[in-house]
A = this chain, B = another copy of it.
Amino acid sequence: MATDDLMTRALEALGDDGPLSVEAIRRLADLADLPETMTIAEVADLLDISPHTLRYYERAGLIEVARDGIGHRVYDAGAVRRLVFLTRMRLSGMPMRDLRHYISLVDAGGHTVPERLDVLVEHRDTIRRRIRELTLSLTAVEYKIATYGGATGPDVQALGTTTGTGHTALPDEPPRRALPAE
């Protein structure tokens, strides 16, 4: 029940399709059947990041990974889950610094849960803000595309004056009166 519901919401959130959403959905689903342990190459492949980066995260103190008899890293399901989390947070723009803080809270024990929630809520708000910013930018870019040749320069005369009437609303270079300075 919770699963279907969540997947549905995630899919809705994705909106129109694309290669990235497919990949993302796969990642959502894949977590259900994780192998017992994984090698660094497998994890790197799963998360679509380089082994270098995985080692870097370990060096950065974000995660501890066990070694086998030969010294190679062995990622158990817990480590992989944490890395999935870390990767998602990085992808959504949380800086390493904050991630280190969060992880330190996790490792400090259950009494830090409220503080962890604070971190998450703040990050949630950051994401929302970013989405709003991007949506605004998107609108501007779409408008610029729609009204044709964005005239950031002395090329308006080459376009004719098809966009000539009253759109001082969006700041991206409305048509100039005659030839502008630059």
Contacts and interface: CB of A to CB of B under 8 A. Distances in A.
A120 B150 contact: yes
Nearest to A27: B171
A13 B136 contact: yes
Nearest to A106: B153
A61 interface: no
Contacts of A165: 2
This chain: how many copies in the complex? 2
Contact of A88 (B109, B124, B128, B172): B172
A180 interface: yes
A166 B3 contact: yes
Contacts of A92: 133-134, 137-138, 141
B106 A170 contact: no
A158 B113 contact: yes
Given A31-B171, A141-B127, A158-B113, A82 B133 contact: no
A167 B2 contact: yes
A13 to B, nearest CB: 5
Interface of A: 1-4, 6-7, 9-10, 13-15, 18, 20-21, 24, 27-32, 63-64, 66, 76-79, 81-82, 84-85, 88-89, 91-93, 102-103, 106-107, 109-113, 116-117, 120-121, 123-124, 127-145, 148-150, 152-159, 165-174, 176, 180-182
Contacts of A173: 81-82, 85
Given A3-B166, A113-B159, 15 more contacts: A6-B169, A21-B136, A29-B169, A78-B180, A84-B171, A85-B173, A89-B137, A91-B133, A109-B155, A116-B149, A120-B145, A124-B138, A127-B138, A130-B134, A131-B131
Given A153-B107, A159-B113, A167-B6, A135 B145 contact: no
